[in-house]
Amino acid sequence: MGISRKVEEQVFDMFESIRRELLFKQRYHKNTEAVAIEISKKHKIIIPSFNNLEIRLNPLFKTLYIFYLKHPEGVRLKDLVDFKEEFIEIYGQLTNTDDNEAIRDNIEELINPLSNSFSQKKSKINKILSDLLGSQLSSFYKIEGNRGQAFRIPLSQELVYFR
């Protein structure tokens, strides 16, 4: 058809790449058992069993998620203020800013029980997890809970590794 050999090869390479990605996703979407999650020294959230799949979150979302991984017993929204310094420490390691006031402001908004910030971030994290892992598998990794009760990630602590 007059198409150069290089273009044909490129198209077939793209199709093969897409095929491999779909097969990979089908394989782990069928998995209904929780697998280990790892937080690297550089704070990457990785699922090693899925070819080191990284759960990519912005620094504030990642701060909230790592906090709950560190607190398997769960923490109520109104009690988050008691962990303010821990949040600041985690967020300070993740963010690119040296502006301590901005860090504190972001954390104060996140842990303020009268603000909607926590709910918005929790919902967004859970959507990202659902999109990435599928509804069944993501249920082990989502932040769950109702207002007035402790929020937690139901993943067994034996499957959480901080490297």
pLDDT in tens, 68-116: 999 999 999 999 999 999 999 999 999 988 889 999 999 999 999 999 9
Is residue 153 in some structural domain? yes
Q: How far apart are CA 109 and CA 13, in angstroms?
A: 47
2 vs 54: CA distance, rounded Å: 41
Q: What is the pLDDT of residue 90?
A: 96
Total of domains in the chain: 1
Is 39 a member of any domain? no
- Please, are residues 144 and 154 in contact by the beta-carbon 8 Å criterion? yes
Which H or E run includes 76? strand 75-76
How many residues in total does the chain contain? 163
Return d(Cα 87, Cα 108) in angstroms, integer: 9
Is residue 135, in this structure, part of any structural domain at all? Answer: yes
Please report the sign of the dihedral spanned by the C-alpha atoms of residue 62, residue 63, residue 69, residue 74.
negative
User: What is the Cα–Cα distance from 34 to 139, expressed in whole angstroms?
Assistant: 9
> Does 42 reside within a domain?
no
Q: What is the pTM of this model?
A: 0.81
Residue 47 lies in a domain: no
Q: Would 144 be classed as within a structural domain?
A: yes
What is the average per-residue pLDDT within 135-139? 89
Element at 44 (helix H, strand E): none
Amino acid at 38: E
Structural domain for 123, as ranges: 57-157
Return d(Cα 6, Cα 95) in angstroms, integer.
43
